[in-house]
Structure 1
Amino acid sequence: MSETASDRTSVPQHVAIIMDGNGRWAQQRGRPRTFGHSKGVEAVRRVVEAAGDRGVRTLTLFSFSTENWNRPADEVGALFELMKRYVAADLASLKKKGVRIRIIGRRDDLTPDLAEIVTKAETDTAENTDFNLNIAFNYGGRDELIRAAQSLAEAVRAGDLNPSDIDEGRLSAALDTAGLPDVDLMIRTSGEQRISNFLLWQAAYAEFYFTDVLWPDFDDVELGRALDSFQQRDRRYGGVDAGAA
C-alpha cells in the first residue's frame, strides 16, 4: 500500500461514525432518552447529505449494537421503530440521489416487519453507485468476525475452499462490508474515546477523530472539522515518512 503527497490532503473515501450522546443530549434538556434518539435521526439526514457533498463515497453509521440489547426494553423498541421510520421516510429520496443502502449486522434478531424493510431498502438501491450508506444495526465487530469465520469454515467443510487459501481478501469478502474499501476515518461523538466493537477489521488503519459534540448537534460544520483533521494526518501504514532521516 503506497501513499503520495496528495493523499495527505485527500477526502477520506470511507468515513465511519459512532453516533454517541443521544441520551445525554435529551437528559440535559429534561426529556426522555427516546427524544434524543429521534433528534439523532435528524442528524443522520444532515450528515448523509453533507458527506456526499464533501466528496465522501462511503459512510457507515453505528446505529444499534449487539450490546444495546442490554438497554431498557422501551428504548430498544424505540430504536427499532426509528429505524423503520427512517428507512420508510427516506428510501425514495435516497434512491433518487443514487445512494446504495446496506444494513450490516445480524438479521436473525430483527422483527419480521423490520427485516422486510431492510431487504426492500437494499434491493431498491442495489444498482446505485454514487454513494454508499451503511447502517450498522444489531451489529458487533466480534460477532461479524465470528460469522465470517463460520462461513469460511463451512466452505472448507464442503470442500469448496482449502484452509491455506484463506487470506485477507477472502476474509474481507466474508464480512458484511464485502466489496467496500476499509475505513479511512472513524469519528466518535460525545467525548468518549473508544471504538466499542465497531468495524474491528475494517478500521485496522483508520484515523480516529473524537469530539465532545453530542450526536444530535453534529452537522456539516462538525463533519468539516473532522475532515480537516484527517487531511493533516500523515498516514504511513506501518512505514516511515519518506522525508524522515
Structure 2
Amino acid sequence: MLHILVVDDNPEIRDLLSRFLRKHDLKVSTARDGYEMRECLRNGPVDLIVLDLMLPGDDGLRLCRDLRADSAIPVIMLTAMGEETDRVVGLEMGADDYLTKPFSPRELLARIKAVLRRTGAAAEHSDRPNSGGRIMRFAGWTIDLIRRELRSPEGALVDLTGGEYDLLVAFVENPNQTLSRDRLLDITRSRAASAFDRAIDVQVSRLRRKIESDPDQSMIKTVRGVGYVFTVAVERV
C-alpha cells in the first residue's frame, strides 16, 4: 500500500485528507511541523509528501530543500492562492508539483496519482512486466526507463526529481522537435498552463544544471516565444 505523509499545521486539513485518502486505499501519516515530519520519515518508507508551505518553525521551502539534499521522495507543495513567487521557489527547491489553497481533496488525489506515476512509485507496487527498449542514450548519458534512473557519461547516478525526470524523458522521446510549454506542462504535470506559470522554465533550468557542463553547448535550446528543443541524437537500446 502506498504511504502518503501529510504535513500541515491545520488539524482540520490533516483530518480531512487522512480520512479521504484512506478511503482511496492509501496509507496516510500526518505531521504538524518539520520535527514530526522527520520523525515519521525515520519510522519507515514514505512514497509521497504533501507539504504545506506555511508551517511553524522550518517552513515548507526549507523542509523541501533539506529533503532534496539526500532524498528523492516526491513532494506536492500546498500554497496560498496568489503566492506565485513561492510556488516557483518551491519548484526550484525540488517540489514535484503544487496545489493552491483552497483545494478539492479529489484534485489533490489526482495530483498524487499523477506524481506517483511519474516518479515510478506506483509501478514499484504493481506486477507490471518490464518491456523492451528500456534504455535510452544521448551524448554519453543513459536513462533506464524501468528503474527511472539517469547516469552520467562517467556512470554516476544523477538525482532527479519526478518532474525533472519526466521532462528529460519528454525531450529524449522527441529529439529535434520543438515542444511548446503547454505540451511540456501537459506531459509532465497533467494540467493546463497559465500565462504566468513559469513551472516548465524552472524545471528546464534545473535540468540544464544537472546535464549540461558547458552552457555554450546546450542540449536543450530555447525557441523564443514557443518552448524548447532537444538538439542531440538519441539511441534506444
The structure showing larger relative contact order (alpha-carbon pairs under 8 Å, at least 6 residues apart) is 1
Specify which structure has the higher proportion of strand.
2
